[in-house]
Structure 1
Amino acid sequence: MSRLIASAGLSGAVHEAAAAGCAESRMLLSRRAMMGVSVGLFSAAFMPKIASAASADPRLLVVVLRGGMDGINVVIPHGDKAYSSMRGAIAIPRSKTLPLNDDFFGLNTALPFFGRLFRRNQAAAVHAVCTPLRNRSHFDAQDNLENGLPGLASNSTGWLNRLLTVMPKGAPIRSNGAIQVGEAPLLLRGPAPVLGWSPTWFSHPPAPITDAVVTLLRKRDKELYGALAAGMKADALAEKVSSGENDNVSTFRKAFRGAGRLLSAKNGPRIAVMSVSNFDTHSGQGSTDGFLWNSLHELDSALREFHDHAGDIWRDTVIVMATEFGRTVRINGDNGTDHGVGTVALLAGGAVAGGKVLGDWPGLSKRDLFEDSDLRATTDLRAVFKGVLADHVGVPLTILDETIFPESASVKPMEGLVRGGGGGFVAATSPARGGGSSRAARRADTPIGRYRAAYPA
């Protein structure tokens, strides 16, 4: 059977670094069977046609970056006067970053492909984001990211599974339910059908045996027959993905390559979920090299694999890469950072209204920090997810507020994330849309402009 989207370990130094994370992070890795990558692929035609979407046939890839990614050293706020002094030995000089469209921020050099997409207006970032639960626990924060609830909850369902439950009955399902590789993330948990598939080294059973089982179940157990048929279709899709693979490419990158091919299949899925466990940088984080740089570079290479194998569907794709929390602003005694709050979310895809950094920047000076420790989160991560689902998928606001993200009416969908969607309400690196005001005036009214006004040089 196919081995492409496998229970994949991380490559080389990245795997070693992930294993060196905090005890809670290692426990989470163990809970997920040390899977560097877990993948879930939703049904093909989930589109309910219940609202206007920017794309007629959208694709969505959600990547959960587990461990707590240090957003401050991913999209680097050089325009903040406190950055260098607060970061100490892990501060990244402006000359060692990739330019973005605003001189306030720079991009980590480990992300050259993301930077290229950004300059093509096919990638964006949302800074100073976090989940609503801010207690710095991997267990709680990851669950909160995936269940989409306002606080702690047990035995909850995932917000993407709840998305499936609101799709109208009778919608054509081209790949039957949802498919998940390895242990299912909480994002997929719930009443909507989720097909489990695990690559193995075993060969397929002989065709006569398979045919006999199919015939028997078709006559005796329609429900089990449907599950078997869906599983066989998923396996056939995965076999296509793995054909002619180059074993010199890491399994991590192959997973993204496979997701690109599967989403581009004519009758394939339209939504994918992946998890990556390698961002817990308690020690050896580094600046222009080290743990974080290696992890980001592998992610960037994997993103390129997805792009290169997605084909024409890239133009209809939004990729959201989000982590459970950020890191402390100050460096710790082990040349790393500890669990924090505010961080960055990354978006990429041909359907992204890119070339900008969004979010209200709160500042890094001591008086601006959350609990004297962390980047203060000014944007609820649910606003990012809601913005994508509203403008890219076409989900109505009432369903977002009440069903997919319960008790979230106060969290408005972020606009300006998707081409053809609403106008950006917090664009930090590009002028606000509309109006006849001057470019300088529009830039002064961005979050960075307001920050500079409050903290003049």
Structure 2
Amino acid sequence: MTPLPSSPSSLPQASRWRRREWLQAAGALALLASPGVRSAFAAIPQARGKLVVVMLRGALDGLAAVPATGDPQWAALRASTEAAAGSAPLPLDAMFGLHPALPELHRWYGQGQLLVVHAVASPYRERSHFDAQQLLESGGQRPFELNTGWLGRALDASGQRGVALSPAMPVALRGARGASTWTPARSASPDADLMARIAQTYQNDPALSGLLEQALSQRGTLGAGVREAGMGAGTGSAGAFVGLARQAGRFLAEPGGPDVAWLDFDGWDTHTQQNGRLQRQFTALDSGLAALRESLGERWADTTVLVMTEFGRSVALNGSGGTDHGTGGVAFLAGGAVAGGRVLADWPGLASRDLLDGRDLRPTRDVRSLLAPLLQRHLGVGQAAMGRVLPGAPPAAPDLWRT
């Protein structure tokens, strides 16, 4: 074996380093070996797992989803909603329950894989859907302060990919070169009046009328199949959510698939008769999240699902059996590694003196304190980039995942 050269002078002339280069290289190696540099490299977060964000558009009533049954004011404010639901809330702890139409989420809570975050809101306080959604998706401190999204900026910084199961790119993913959209292929349904006039024209031609009847029959069968798969309505509707959530899980579970999926689910603006409407909405949300978990398969273990909404709703019901735009609401974190089985809440209370403006649940936690740790864990966004991705964000909420 040829011995290694003991100094730069023993190398052939063409391979010789100057003394200064040897000293620089030795110094660099020594620096890299120093404890301070090793700890700095260790502090850089490493991306892991998959992230799903579900945006409930229209403002979910957080007190309907997670009723504060242990609060002394609850019975006077909302007892009638429990009676209308037909069954008592599913118990979470001494203070909170879960709407009875969310049995799958309740099961996850019992497994320690669902974290409920109550009395949460963005910095916005003006109760406009349009402005509140823009602020929540952009990640700024004021509506339209930023025209790209917190998730888009994070994806761009990390070089990872995301998909929105939506016809148009949501604000949250704008600014990412690696973001795309997807919707199920569906042919447009013909206008009913047009089809009636065509049928009338063909009624005296047995051949043509027979072909038309056959075509309409086949379309009806296909439409029923699409509806059964959960994709028979608009991409943000209750009918579509289950199918879209299942497809999101398939995308993320594919080898080399995207790292992030975004889902919209609308229909949460419940100004009137909200009990029956929320029963349907919660059933679809529960079924959709169950389908997402099933299609993720083994990837569920390293996936986090964030469910959020632009703001909460008024504490008291209005005269139409609904609730009006409010402030504090609820968010959910779910996943195989989530430190769940608990409600994270600095509860402000429901007494009139404790309410914001005498009508709303007072928020005690900024939703952006949940976004920052999600980006650190799943996209590897470090502190240096976080100021650009989530400018002005509060400190990250700790202990969201099991170690």
- Residue of structure 2 equivalent to 1:240: none
- Residue of structure 2 equivalent to 1:249: 229
Separation in structure 2 between the aligned mates of residue 196 and residue 275 of structure 1, nearest angstrom: 12
Coordinate RMSD, CA, aligned: 2.4
**391, 396, 399: which one pairs with 1:413?**
396
Separation in structure 2 between the aligned mates of residue 144 and residue 97 of structure 1, nearest angstrom: 32
* 1:341 counterpart SS class: coil
Aligned residues: 316
Q: Deviations over 1:279-323 (max 9, x none)?
A: 11100112xxx1112101110000110111111000000000000
- Residue of structure 1 equivalent to 2:29: none
Distance 1:333 1:201, change over 3 A: closer
In structure 1, list runs of 5 or more residues that go unmatched.
1-47, 203-244, 421-457
* Structure with greater proportional helix content: 2
The answer to whether structure 1 residue 185 and structure 2 residue 170 are counterparts is yes
* 1:73 counterpart SS class: helix
**Superposed counterparts of 1:57-456, under 5 Å:** 57-87=48-78, 89-91=80-82, 96-100=88-92, 102-153=93-144, 156-167=147-158, 181-190=166-175, 192-201=177-186, 248-251=228-231, 252-286=241-275, 290-400=276-386, 402-408=387-393, 411-420=394-403
Separation in structure 2 between the aligned mates of residue 338 and residue 354 of structure 1, nearest angstrom: 30
Distance 1:377 1:266, change over 3 A: same
- 1:201 is displaced (CA, Å) by 4.4
- 1:391 is displaced (CA, Å) by 3.9
Q: TM-score, normalised by structure 1?
A: 0.65
Separation in structure 2 between the aligned mates of residue 177 and residue 414 of structure 1, nearest angstrom: 24
* 2:228 counterpart SS class: coil
* 2:325 counterpart SS class: coil
- 1:115 is displaced (CA, Å) by 0.5
- 1:392 is displaced (CA, Å) by 4.5
Give 1:370's aligned amino acid. Answer: L
* 1:139 counterpart SS class: helix
Distance 1:114 1:392, change over 3 A: same
Give 1:315's aligned amino acid. Answer: A
- Residue of structure 1 equivalent to 2:212: none
Q: Deviations over 1:132-158 (max 9, x none)?
A: 111100001111110111112256110
In structure 2, list runs of 5 or more residues that go unmatched.
1-40, 188-224, 232-240
Distance 1:49 1:60, change over 3 A: farther
Give 1:324's aligned amino acid. Answer: E
Return the index of the structure with the highest Cα Rg: 2
Instruction: Report if the CA contact (8 A) 1:177-1:192 is conserved.
Output: no
Give 1:194's aligned amino acid. Answer: A
Instruction: Report if the CA contact (8 A) 1:323-1:345 is conserved.
Output: yes
Separation in structure 1 between the aligned mates of residue 103 and residue 311 of structure 2, nearest angstrom: 24
Separation in structure 1 between the aligned mates of residue 290 and residue 162 of structure 2, nearest angstrom: 28
Give 2:56's aligned amino acid. Answer: L
Q: TM-score, normalised by structure 2?
A: 0.73
The percent of aligned pairs where both chains have the same amino acid is: 40
Give 2:347's aligned amino acid. Answer: W
Separation in structure 2 between the aligned mates of residue 419 and residue 60 of structure 1, nearest angstrom: 16
- Residue of structure 2 equivalent to 1:206: none
